[in-house]
Amino acid sequence: MRFMADHDVYFATVQWLRAEGHDVITAKELSMQEADDMDLLARAKALKRLLVSRDKDFGTLVFLDAISSPGVIFLRVAPSTVNEVHQELHRLLGEQTEVVLQQSYCVVEAHRYRIRRLPKDGQTADE
């Protein structure tokens, strides 16, 4: 799968995704480490990459503000839970297709993940 990692994603996670065979580009590699969240979403969508982040603000943007999204994976991870979150991320990526993930906002944490379908472009979560 193709990912764009936000600047706040642990380097260990970027390395892990690459070791798993995924195509990962980081915000830093794109000189976007200080870009705002809307610009990151737009760039990930233009590059046709799922956005991986530890920033929960992306949920507000895609559900309440109806900002178009390429699919978001929100990692609820701390240094002490990295291995467990990687195991759960492995399960998510094995059980879901890239097409499903591109239409979803996923929350991955130690021992579980949740998927919520994204609203269609221009719709809020309430419509």
Residues in the chain: 127
Largest CA distance in the chain: 40
pLDDT at 121 over 90: no
Decide which of 36 and 122 is more confident: 36
For 32-89, the pLDDT digits (tens) are 999 999 999 999 999 999 999 999 999 999 998 888 888 999 999 999 999 999 999 9
Give the model's pLDDT for residue 64: 87
d(CA 118, CA 26): 23
- Residue ranges and CATH numbers for the domains of the chain are 2-117 (3.40.50)
* Average pLDDT across the chain, whole number: 92
d(CA 81, CA 40): 26
Q: What percent of the chain has pLDDT over 90?
A: 83
pLDDT at 91 over 70: yes
d(CA 99, CA 87): 21
pLDDT at 127 over 60: no
Q: Beta-carbon neighbour count of residue 78 at 10 Å?
A: 13
